[in-house]
Structure 1
Amino acid sequence: MSSPTWLFRKLEDRFMLRLRKCRNINALKRIQTHILVSSLSQSSYLATQIINLCNAYGSIDYATQVFNQVLDPNVFLCNAMIKAYTQNYHFPEAIALYKQMLRCAMFGDRFTYPFVLKSCAGLIHVRLGRQLHTQVIKCGLEFNSVTQNSLIEMYAKVDDLVNARKVFHDMSERDSVSWNTLISAHARLGQMRRAKALFDTMPSRTVVSWTALISGYTLEGRCSEAVAIFRRMQAEGFEPDVVSIVSVLPACVELGALELGRWIHTYAERHGLLQKMIICNALIEMHAKCGSIDDAIKLFDNMPQRDVISWSTMICGLAQHGRARKAVQLFETMKDENRVNPNSVTFLGLLAACAHGGLLDEGLHYFSLMKETYGITAGVEHYGCIVDLLGRAGCIARAVEVVGGMSIPADAAIWGSLLSASRKHGDIETAVRSMEELMRLEPEDMGNYVLLLNTYAAEKRWEDVARIRILMRSRRLNKTPGCSSIEVGDAVH
C-alpha cells in the first residue's frame, strides 16, 4: 500500500509539471485553484514555483496572496517572495518579510541577502544597510562573492563609498561586477580621479566599465574627456551599447560635435538601435542642438512610437531654430493623437517657440491651457517665456503685471528680459526698476549695467550715464572675452 507521503510527493510533481508549462497568469490561477482543491495549499515547494511565475508576470498582489496562504513557509519560499518584491520595487515589503524571518528564527542564506540588500539600497537606508552587513557576517556569508557584490552595490547606492571600498578590498577574488559597481559609484558621485584610477587598474574591462567613465565625465561637464574615452573604447574594439550611446550624446551636444553625433546615428541605424525610444530621443536632441534640425525632424517622423520626451524634445528643437509655426503644428498633432499628455517641458518648448516667433495670442492661449486644462503649475521658465513674449510685442505694462502676479520670485532672466524689452520700447521707469532688481540678484554681471547705460544714452540722460560708468569702475567690472569651439577631424578645439 502506498504511503501518504509518497502520494503527496507524486501529486506535487504532477502539479509542478503543469506549472512549468504555464504561460500566463490566468492559466496559473486555474492551476492554483486545483492545488487548493487537492489540499496542497501548504506545499512550500509548489508555492515557491507559483511565486516565481507571478514575479515573471508582474502579479505581485497574487503572489502575496499565495504566500500568505502558507502557514509555515520555508526559507526557499521566503527567498522567492523577497526576490519578487525586490524585482518589482516593493522594497518595504521585502524588508518587512526579511524581519519576519528573523523573528521566526529563520536565518537568510546566500540567496536571501542579495535581494534584501538591493531593497535596502532602493530605500536608501544607510543604518539598515550596516545592520544587514552585520547579519551577513553572522551568517558566514561575508566572503561569498555574490553577497559581497551586493554589499558594494548597496553601499554605493547609499553613497557610503568608504564601506564600499572596504568590502571591495576585502574580496579575495573580484569579478567585473565588483569593479564596475565601484567605478560607477565613484563616477556618479563626481569622484572621477578615483573612478579613473580603478578603471586603469581593472584587469579586464567591459562596455559597462567604459560607459561608467563616459557617463561620469559627461555629468561633470568634462565633455572632451567623455568623447575621448568613447573614441578610445571604439579603438580598443568595444562596441557601444544603448547606455554608452545615451551617455556620450550629451557630450557631443555640449561640444557641438555633430560629425561624431552623425556617426553614432549611423551606427545605431546599422545595429537596429533606432527601435529604442531612448536612443531616438537622445539623437533628436543632439541633431537639434548641433544645428541639424532637418535630420532631427526626419528621425522623429520615422519613429515607430513616441513618448512625451520625443514630442517635447522635437518641439524644443523647433523652438530653438525659430520654427515657431511648425512647433505649434506639432503640438496640435500631439493633442489630436490623444495618446500622450504634454508635460511642463513640452509647454516650455511651445511657449519659447511662441516667444521667438512673435505668436502673442497663441502663447497666451497655451499658457492658460497649460494651467487650466492640464493642471501644470507654471515654473519660473514658463513665466520667463511669457514675459519675453509680451516684451517683444511691446506689452510692457502687461509683462510687469505678469511678473507682479507670479507665485514664485522672478529670477534674473525674467528681469533681464523685462529690462531689454522696456529699454527697446523706451519705458525708462520699468527699465530702472528691472535694473535695480538685477543689481540685487547679480551685482557682478556687467551686461546688466551696459543695458541700462545704453538706455540712458538713448534718452540723452548723460548724468545717469556718467553715474553708471563710475559705479562700474568702482566695482571693477570688465567685459569678459567670449570663446567658441569647432570640430576638426576627430577633435573639438
Structure 2
Amino acid sequence: MSLVPSSLVSFRRPLYLWNLMIRDSTNNGFFIQTLNIYSSMAHSGVHGNNLTYPLLLKACANLASIQHGTVLHSHLLKLGFQADAFVQTALVDMYSKSSHVESARLVFDEMPHRSVVSWNTMVSAYSRVSSMDQALSLLKEMWVLGFKPTASTFVSILSGYSNVDTFKFRLQGVSIHGCLIKLGIVNTEVSLANSLMAMYAQFCRMDEARKVFDLMDEKSIISWTTMIGGYVKIGHATEAFGLFKQMQRQSVGIDFVVFLNLISGCIQVGELLLASSVHSLVLKCGCDEAGSVENLLITMYSKCGNLTFARRIFDLIIEKSMLSWTSMIAGYAHSGLPVEALDLFRRMLKTDIRPNGATLATVLSACADLGSLSMGQEIEEYVFLNGWESDQQVQTSLIHMYSKCGCIKKAREVFEKVTDKDLTVWTSMINSYAIHGMGNEAISLFHKMTTEEGIIPDAIVYTSVLLACSHSGLVEDGLKYFKSMQKDFRIAPTVEHCTCLIDLLGRVGQLDLALDAIQGMPLAVQAQAWGSLLSACRIHGNVELGELATFKLLETSPGRSGSYVLMSNLYTSSGKWKEAHMMRNLIDGKGLVKECGWSQVEVSGSHDALGAGN
C-alpha cells in the first residue's frame, strides 16, 4: 500500500483519531485515501481494532481491490480477529464484492460465531452472481439453525433474479413471494416490495408486480420507476404513461430514470405529440444535457418520423460521444435514408471518435438497403483494419449486406468464418437463402441449427424459414413449420408468420386454402393477410375472391391506394375494363396518391434514384 507524507507519521496519534480519519474518508468516498491513512497508521506502530478494519475492508470492497483486501486479511490473521463476527462479516463482504465468492464462503465457513448480518452477507454474495440455488440453500440452513431471516435477507435474494429468467427461477421467485406473504413482511419495508416488483418485472409478469404495487401503503420513487420501466419493457407503453400521470397527480418527484423510461416508451409508441410532451418535461426539469438522455431523444424523434428534430438535438451536442453518432446514423438508416447515414458516418471518421461494433453494423445495414456493394466492401476493409472482424454483430450485418447486394456465396463465406454462432448469425444466413429463393438450402441450415447445434429457434428465424418456403413454393414444408413452431416451441404466430403462410399458399394457387387460413386468424392479423391474398388473386386471375379481399382491405384501411391499384390491375388482366376504370376513378375521387415506383443505380461511387416516368 502506498504511503502518505511523513508529516502524518511524525505525530503519535492515538487509535481513536486514526479511526476518525479513516471513517471520514471512507464515508466521503475517498477509498484510496482511506488505505493511505491506514498505511501511515501501520508505519507509526498503531494497530487497528474491530472498528478500524470493517471500514478498511469497505474501502477495498468499493474499489474491488482484491490485492489490498488480501493484505488486510493477512493482518487480521496476525492480529487474531478470527473470532470477531463484525470484522469477519466485513471480510466476507469484501471478497464478495471483489468477485471472489469462493473465498468469501471459506471465510464464512471458518467463522466460529455468526450473526444474522453474517448470513445475509453470504446470501447476498451468492445472489450478486445469480447463484440462486446456493443462496436458497443457505437461506434454508440459516432458518434451520434458528436465525430468522430479515427483510434485508429477502431483498438480497430477490436482487439475484435481476439477470436471470428461466421457468425454474420463476417458480423460485413465486415461492419466495409466498414465503413473504406467510411471514407477513411483504409491506413492512418499501425496499422489499420494490425488490419483489423488480423480480416480477424481470420475469415480464407485470400483473403480479402491479398487485404488489397497489397493496403498498408507502411508495418511493423507485417503486414508481420500477413499475413504469417494467411496463415499457413488455411493450405496454400506454400503461406506463397512465402510471406516470398518476405519479404526477400524487406530486411524486421525477428523477432521471423516469425520463429514460418515458423516452423509451415514446420510442415504442412512435407518436410525435407524445414525444414532444415528454421532451418538454425533460427540458423543464433540466435533464436534457445528460448524455444518455440526449442520445435517447435522438432515437425517439427518429422513431417518430421527425428526423429534423433528431438532427437538431444531435447538432446541439457540443461533445458528441460515439453513442451520439451511432444514434443519429441509426436514425437515418432505419428511416430509409441510407445515403444520409453513410454521409454522416464519413463525417464521423474525420473526428477523433472511433466507431464500435454497433456503429459498423448499422452502417453495413445502410449499405444493404442502398445495395451498394462497393461501399459495403470499404466498410469490411475498415472492419479488418481495426480489429472488428470477430464481432458477431458486425459479422451478422456483413452476411446481410452481401446477401442484399446479390453475393450469396460471399455471405456464406462470412457465415462459415464465425466461430461461436448464435441464433442471430444463423437467422441472418437462413434469411439470406430465403430472399434468394434458395428454400432447400434455408431449410437444411435450419435443420442443422436445431438438431446438430441444439439452438432453440425463435419467432424471427421462423419468419425467415416460412419466407424461404414461400419464395420456393415449398407448401408442405411451410405448413409443417407453421404447425411445428406452435406445437414444439409454443411460438404464437405473428402477423409476419401469417402473411408468409398466405403468400406461400397464394403463390401455388391454393387460394381457397389461403382464404380458410385467413378466416381462422385473429382480426388484427387479417388486415395484412388480405393484401397477400389479393396479390395472389391477381397472379391467378381470381376476380371473385379478389373482390372479397379488396372489400376486406378497404374496410380496415380505406386510405391505402395500393389495394385499389391491385384490384384495378386484376380487372384489367381479366378484360374487365369498365371495372378497372371505376377503381382508378375511385383513387382520384378519394384524393389518394399512388406512390411512384423508383430504381437506384450506382455509378462511380455515387447513387442516382430514377422515378417511374423519368
Scaled to the shorter chain, the TM-score interval is 0.7 to 0.9
Could you report, residue by residue, the CA deviation over 1:44-92 in whole angstroms, capped at 9, with x for unpaired residues?
Answer: 7x976x578546633367669689979899xxx99x96996697489x9
**What is the rounded CA distance, in whole Å, between the counterparts of 2:109 and 2:250 in structure 1?**
40
| Percent identical | 27
**CA offset at residue 184 of structure 1?**
1.1
One-letter amino acid of the structure 2 residue matched with residue 33 of structure 1 = D
**Partner of 1:240 in structure 2?**
355
One-letter amino acid of the structure 2 residue matched with residue 31 of structure 1 = V
Matches within 5 A, 1:30-109: 30-35=106-111, 38-41=112-115, 53-54=125-126, 57-59=129-131, 88=163, 99=190
Cα 1:98–1:404, aligned 2, differ >3 Å: closer, same or farther?
same
Matches within 5 A, 1:17-416: 20=95, 25-35=101-111, 38-41=112-115, 53-54=125-126, 57-59=129-131, 88=163, 99=190, 122-123=229-230, 126=244, 151-159=255-263, 160-162=278-280, 164-166=282-284, 168=286, 179-190=290-301, 196-197=311-312, 199-409=314-524, 411=526, 413-416=528-531
User: What are structure 1's unaligned runs of at least 5 residues?
Assistant: 102-112, 136-150, 171-177
**What is the rounded CA distance, in whole Å, between the counterparts of 1:425 and 1:273 in structure 2?**
49
User: Aligned-residue CA RMSD in angstroms?
Assistant: 4.7
**What is the rounded CA distance, in whole Å, between the counterparts of 1:476 and 1:317 in structure 2?**
39
Q: Is the 8 A contact 2:225 2:258 kept in 1?
A: yes
**What is the rounded CA distance, in whole Å, between the counterparts of 2:331 and 2:577 in structure 1?**
52
Cα 1:47–1:489, aligned 2, differ >3 Å: closer, same or farther?
farther
**CA offset at residue 133 of structure 1?**
8.4
The farther-off stretch of 310-319 and 61-70 is 61-70
Q: Is the 8 A contact 1:152 1:181 kept in 2?
A: no
One-letter amino acid of the structure 1 residue matched with residue 260 of structure 2 = A
**CA offset at residue 205 of structure 1?**
3.4
**What is the rounded CA distance, in whole Å, between the counterparts of 2:556 and 2:48 in structure 1?**
86
Cα 1:474–1:133, aligned 2, differ >3 Å: closer, same or farther?
closer
**What is the rounded CA distance, in whole Å, between the counterparts of 1:55 and 1:388 in structure 2?**
49
Q: Is the 8 A contact 1:117 1:129 kept in 2?
A: no
Match of 1:301, SS?
A: helix
Cα 1:364–1:228, aligned 2, differ >3 Å: closer, same or farther?
same
Cα 1:32–1:492, aligned 2, differ >3 Å: closer, same or farther?
farther
Q: Is the 8 A contact 1:214 1:227 kept in 2?
A: yes
**What is the rounded CA distance, in whole Å, between the counterparts of 1:301 and 1:434 in structure 2?**
44
Cα 1:59–1:433, aligned 2, differ >3 Å: closer, same or farther?
same
One-letter amino acid of the structure 1 residue matched with residue 401 of structure 2 = M
One-letter amino acid of the structure 2 residue matched with residue 155 of structure 1 = F
The count of residues paired between Structure 1 and Structure 2 equals: 451
Q: Is the 8 A contact 1:183 1:212 kept in 2?
A: no
**What is the rounded CA distance, in whole Å, between the counterparts of 1:459 and 1:100 in structure 2?**
71
Q: Is the 8 A contact 2:120 2:156 kept in 1?
A: no
Q: Is the 8 A contact 2:130 2:161 kept in 1?
A: no
**What is the rounded CA distance, in whole Å, between the counterparts of 1:488 and 1:121 in structure 2?**
50
Match of 1:294, SS?
A: helix
Cα 1:407–1:98, aligned 2, differ >3 Å: closer, same or farther?
same
**What is the rounded CA distance, in whole Å, between the counterparts of 2:427 and 2:403 in structure 1?**
12
Higher RCO (C-alpha 8 Å, min separation 6): 1
**What is the rounded CA distance, in whole Å, between the counterparts of 1:10 and 1:213 in structure 2?**
57
**What is the rounded CA distance, in whole Å, between the counterparts of 1:426 and 1:134 in structure 2?**
63
**What is the rounded CA distance, in whole Å, between the counterparts of 1:98 and 1:216 in structure 2?**
43
**CA offset at residue 269 of structure 1?**
3.3
Could you report, residue by residue, the CA deviation over 1:126-149 in whole angstroms, capped at 9, with x for unpaired residues?
Answer: 5779999859xxxxxxxxxxxxxx
Could you report, residue by residue, the CA deviation over 1:168-208 in whole angstroms, capped at 9, with x for unpaired residues?
Answer: 479xxxxxxx6422321311321765654554454433323
TM-score, normalised to structure 2's length? 0.60
Q: Is the 8 A contact 2:329 2:341 kept in 1?
A: yes
